[in-house]
Amino acid sequence: MQKKQILDNQWRSLPNAQTRHPKGLNEISEPDNFWSQLLKTEEFSELAHFAFSTMSLPHANADREQVFGKVILIKTQIRNQLTVETVNDTLLAAESAKGSTRTGNCVNFEPTKKCKAA
Mean pLDDT score, 111-117: 78
Query: 10-50, pLDDT tens digit by residue?
Result: 898 888 877 776 667 777 778 888 888 888 888 888 999 99
Handedness of CA 81, 86, 92, 98 (dihedral sign): negative
Q: Indicate the domain borders of the chain.
A: 3-55, 62-117
Other CB atoms within 10 Å distance of the CB of residue 110? 8
Please report how many Cα atoms fall inside a 13 Å half-sphere around the Cα of residue 87, on the Cβ side: 16
User: Is residue 38 packed enough to be buried (19+ CB in 10 Å), middle (13-18) or exposed (0-12)?
Assistant: buried
Q: What's the rounded Cα separation, in Å, for the pair 61 and 95?
A: 17
Per-residue confidence (pLDDT) for residue 46, from 0 to 100: 93
What is the spatial distance between Cα 32 and Cα 29, in angstroms, rounded to a whole number?
9
pLDDT for 104 beyond 60: no
pLDDT at 95 over 60: yes
- Chain-wide mean pLDDT for the chain? 79
pLDDT the model gives residue 84: 84
Q: What is the pLDDT of residue 100?
A: 58
